[in-house]
A and B are shown apart, each in its own frame.
Chain A
Amino acid sequence: MRKLTTMIATAALLASTALVSAADTKVGILMDITGPIANFIPPIQNAANLAVKQVNAQGGLLDGSAIAVYGDTTGTSQGAVDAAQKLVNIENVPFVMGALMSGTTIAAAEAVFIPAGVVQLSPTATSPAMTDLKDNDLVYRIVPSDNYQGEILAKMVLAEGIKKVAVTFVNNDYGVGIGNTFIDAYKAAGGEVVAQAKHEEKKDSYRSELASLTKGGAEALVVVAYAGDSGGKIVKQAAEGGLFSRFIGTDGLRDDLLIKNVGAEILKTSFFSSPTSPGDNPAQGILHKAFNAEYGGGADKAFVDQTYDATFLTMLAIEKVGSADRSKMAIALRDVATAPGIKVGPGEWKKAKALLSEGKDIDYDGAGGAYEFDANGDVSGFIGKFVVDGDSYKQTEIVE
């Protein structure tokens, strides 16, 4: 009897695939749901669900509804490849949004999506390695590569007339990615790196690292680390010891906490680079309002904007193709994301669907940026230059 019950339950679950109406379209969403970044996931998943919900409320995808199908990478390469195989082969999705971590994104792309010819759009993977993938134009992302900020920062430092710097960066993919790119770009453009030191997080004293960095007479110290951890401590200890008087940081250091801990006086000649939106972006306000109305808050959490935009773009591309034909998705994605075209923003599915059905070209500008893909499927984004203003920061220029 028990066996019979189990079998009936199993059969019912499997048969429920058939309940999905033939006109509905599955949208593959690959996320690192369980695993090391599980804490970040709930708002991000809500963002993806919001996009799907809005699409279904405003006319649906193709001739039916959009159905989000999740794959969980468990934060590991093995899990990512396994989940990707299921999305591609069992769920038969035409397009995949994800994954979030760089390691799982690349493993899934290399082992599954590229061989199967399925387009993948990551909202958050920043590893420089993704730029050089031999991906047959199948792998995209809507955040700038870590390399990008490093290159822009090198330009900013030289534009300030600083020719000799010392560099220290935190030993993780963020610090190493930006730090190494900065050093290469700075040297290539004629700057001199007189000392460099990689450091570990969560130490109390960075005085030995600082002692080696002061050798060589650098004009400023470039710090690629987080204000709440090693970055803040390094600036504080360097200032206390009178070792450096000028600091240059990235978005990790550009935190009000730094001013609180170190004091605005010490930072008055410092400047910081950070990804930013072009001017004030009304699209972001629209999304945040819709998100908070639906889920009661949390729209300002990390990567909500990018995940919503990536999911929305995924569905726009499918709508543009007009079917679930995998081979046409890449061209369609470029079409709907990049200029020229009639501007469409978050939540404007009805408008987009109408325009696409008339055969018009559209250009989605999202909450996180305008997303103009280059030949590698990367976006450039905007990097702002920030200086200290009172107990917070102000943006003095935008570099694209």
Chain B
Amino acid sequence: MELTGLFFYLVSILIAGGIYSLLCLGLNIQWGMGGVFNAGIAGFFATGAYASAILTTSTSAKHIGGFDLPVLAGLLGAGIISGCVGWAVAKICIRLKSDYLAMASIGIAEILRLVIVNESWLTNGSLGLSGVPRPFAGLASGRTADIVFLVFIWVIVIAVFFFSQRLYDSPWGRSLRAIRDNEQSASAAGKDVEKFRIQTFAIGCAIMGIAGGLSAHYFRFLSPSATDPLLVTFLVWVMLIAGGSGNNRGAIVGALSIWFLWSVTEIFTNRLPPEWITRSSFVRMLLVGLLLQYVLQRFRAGIIPEKAPKLRYSEEE
């Protein structure tokens, strides 16, 4: 282990951690604030990833577009398209109670995945999209380009974090939490429950779409293997619950710590004796499972639990 290697490994963990932080922030808006159970994160992630990749790659005969737009336009497009898809989905399914909504959203993610795999005029199917550009690619080359990307990603994470904080503390966010905690009383207080839930679902999906777009730019290549529900849906749920559902700081801490656990375990399992070498990957999965169990049991309300914002009274009163 040399120090530069360790440094670049840390950079890579923080890049992936940044992408997961965005996914967690998106899910936190949906579940943590609004109590809307979305088990189809992978679908909205994939929509955003493909949207941004198609918007920014150069023209290709293999799929629709590419439109050769700048990366920022691609990410904006990813957010808008995922948000619109989320809105349309919410319009249809949001009235379902949380467990039914969870099932419906798994189904929707599967539909989106099948569209991506099969509609090759749109996405080049299982062969994937290559040549997805990185933002500010001219600034650095080789491994140092990862540092530029790291800064780019975390600027977005921090912007989304402040946006979520603002949302949480806004009248909109307060109404949302009222709905989450007691739907009937919120409705009796005159809140349009359905409208709030549709909005929260769409906003969360838009953020997930941006996370998807960023992954496409990070990998520089996008194929259906980037949209695996284990790594995109279920791991994100674990991160949010471990970090502290309802707390934006918790979402980011959860994303970083769980991804760190996930990644670092392989370094240990590779140190196992040679007789174990063919089993080390499976040992690792077992280890990851045990660690997640431990974290979820130990920190039941999350590492940083939700804390309701202080009440402020306006000064005229």
Contact = CB atoms under 8 A, between A and B. Distances in A.
B174 interface: no
Contact of A92 (B1, B143, B231): B1
A91 B270 contact: yes
* Residue among B228, B267, B281 with the highest chain A CB neighbour number at 10 A: B281
B5 interface: yes
A274 to B, nearest CB: 22
A102 B232 CA distance: 20
Contacts of A102: 127-128, 223
A363 B267 CA distance: 35
Nearest to B4: A89
A172 B117 CA distance: 8
Say whether chain B's binding surface is mostly helix, strand, loop, or mixed.
Answer: helix
A82 interface: yes
A88 B142 CA distance: 13
Contacts of A133: 130
Contact of A74 (B8, B142, B215, B231): B231
Interface string A353-379: 000000000000000000000000000
Given A17-B1, A33-B281, A70-B270, A103 B128 contact: yes
A75 B225 contact: yes
Interface string A72-106: 10111111111101101111100000000111101
Given A89-B8, A91-B270, A92-B2, A176 B126 contact: yes
A45 B219 contact: no
B120 interface: yes
Interface string B118-147: 101000011110110000000001110110
Given A34-B282, A45-B278, A78 B215 contact: yes
* Residue among A74, A102, A134 with the highest chain B CB neighbour number at 10 A: A74
B64 interface: no
* Residue among B118, B130, B143, B222 with the highest chain A CB neighbour number at 10 A: B130
A132 B278 CA distance: 33
Interface in B43-81: none
B118 A171 contact: yes
Interface string A48-83: 010000000000000000001111101111111111
Contact of A68 (B2, B120, B277): B277
Contacts of A46: 278
A70 B12 CA distance: 18
Contacts of A110: 130, 219-221
What's the interface size class on B, roughly?
A: 35 or more
B266 interface: yes
Contacts of B6: 89-90
Given A49-B277, A107-B221, A76 B228 contact: yes
What's the interface size class on A, roughly?
A: 35 or more
B271 A81 contact: no
A116 interface: yes
Contacts of A117: 142
B23 to A, nearest CB: 11
Contact of A173 (B127, B143, B145): B127
Contacts of B224: 103
Given A72-B284, A129-B130, A111 B219 contact: yes
Given A82-B16, A176-B125, A116 B281 contact: no
Given A88-B5, A173-B126, A13 B225 contact: no
A151 to B, nearest CB: 17
A115 interface: yes
B226 interface: yes
A72 B281 contact: yes
A16 B271 contact: yes
Contact of A115 (B130, B146, B282): B146
B125 A173 contact: yes
B285 interface: yes
Given A92-B5, A103-B128, A77 B219 contact: yes
A116 B219 contact: no
B127 A129 contact: yes
A314 interface: no
Interface string A101-136: 111101101111001110000000001110011100
Contact of B225 (A34, A70, A76): A76
Given A14-B268, A76-B231, A107-B223, 18 more contacts: A34-B281, A70-B270, A71-B266, A72-B281, A76-B225, A77-B221, A82-B16, A89-B12, A90-B9, A91-B270, A116-B8, A116-B142, A129-B127, A129-B128, A171-B125, A173-B125, A176-B120, A177-B127
Interface of A: 13-14, 16-17, 33-35, 42, 45-46, 49, 68-72, 74-83, 85-86, 88-92, 101-104, 106-107, 109-112, 115-117, 127-129, 132-134, 171-173, 176-177
What 9 A-B pairs have minimum CB-CB distances, sorted nearest first? Answer: A103-B225, A77-B226, A110-B220, A103-B223, A89-B5, A72-B281, A89-B9, A33-B281, A85-B12
10 contacts: A33-B282, A81-B16, A82-B262, A86-B266, A110-B130, A110-B220, A111-B219, A127-B127, A127-B128, A176-B126
